[in-house]
Amino acid sequence: MNFFLETLKVIGLSFYYFLESLVFLIVPKRKKNVSGEIVLVTGAGSGIGRLLSLKFASLGATVVLWDINQEGLKETSRLVKQNGAVRVHCYICDCSKREDIYRVADQ
């Protein structure tokens, strides 16, 4: 009996989420406006962190960049400023060390 109820629950939830995805396919979700917000990007010196920094800068957010790589951080900061960021703050931070995170956060 328990197996039967669990199976019905799975089928019902699958049907519900299928219908929900169809609705969101037609009516897209409203996106949050980050213009004027402060965005902290860790690992901003390269890769995904750099791409996120550039995207948030183009959306008008104040971007705070954290990375352990100083050269990559400088390059990302330069690119973000070229991309139209109003305010950019860069900090060298090793996110694997709790004390370093608290120290940089207090700045």
Residue 45's closest CA among 78, 64, 71? 71
Write down the pLDDT at residue 8: 92
Question: pLDDT digit string (tens) for 81-102?
Answer: 888 787 899 999 888 889 888 9
Write down the pLDDT at residue 104: 86
pTM exceeds 0.75, yes or no: no
Distance separating alpha carbons of residues 91 and 73, to the nearest angstrom: 8
Domain spans, the chain: 1-30, 38-106
Q: What is the mean pLDDT of residues 24-53?
A: 88
Question: pLDDT digit string (tens) for 40-58?
Answer: 999 888 889 999 999 999 9
